[in-house]
Amino acid sequence: MEARGFGFTWIRTFILLGVIILLPFSLGIGIAFGSWVGAVVAFGCGALMTAALALRAALIIRVDEIRVDFPDRESFIRAVNETLPSVGYRHLSGEADLLMSKPAGMGFLAPEISLAIHGESATFSGPRERVRRLVRYLAE
């Protein structure tokens, strides 16, 4: 499931970070200091920090779609494969008309970049910042 809107991306990221980082941290504070009041305070402060981190992540990883026209399919796919490592993604893989690229070491929150080819046009779908940079590099 791709997080398409800003609000949905923020909520999804906040919940993931809260479950993976915030809850274990708060429980660890409560157990380490023997005080559940300390755990509640740590949870409250941590929730504010998690909200800020989720806000920054939502600005980066929300999904964007950009359509590009090209004259030659093979040279276009070759150019995309040469450009993908410069934006932090691996080479394309998949079927003939739907190709996917996985992030290279960006973590579990980073979505994949997909390339759907329709005749002489292609639609990139992936993290907003990376897709826009990829299309800008291809235009140069």
Q: Residues 22-61: pLDDT tens digits?
A: 999 999 999 999 989 989 999 999 999 999 999 988 887 7
Three-state SS string over the chain comes to CCCCCHHHHHHHHHHHHHHHHHHHHHHHHHHHHCCHHHHHHHHHHHHHHHHHHHHHHHHHHCEEEEEEECCCHHHHHHHHHHHHHHHCECCCEECCCEEEECECCCCCCCCCEEEEEECCEEEEEEEHHHHHHHHHHHHC
Q: Is domain 63-139 in CATH 3.30.160, yes or no?
A: yes
For 90, the token pair is 């691996």
> Would you say the pTM of this structure is higher than 0.75?
no
Mean pLDDT over each residue of the chain, to the nearest integer: 87
User: What residue spans define the domains of the chain?
Assistant: 6-60, 63-139
User: For 61-109, how does the pLDDT look when each residue is reduced to its tens digit (9 = 90+)?
Assistant: 788 889 999 998 889 989 999 999 998 888 888 887 899 998 887 666 6
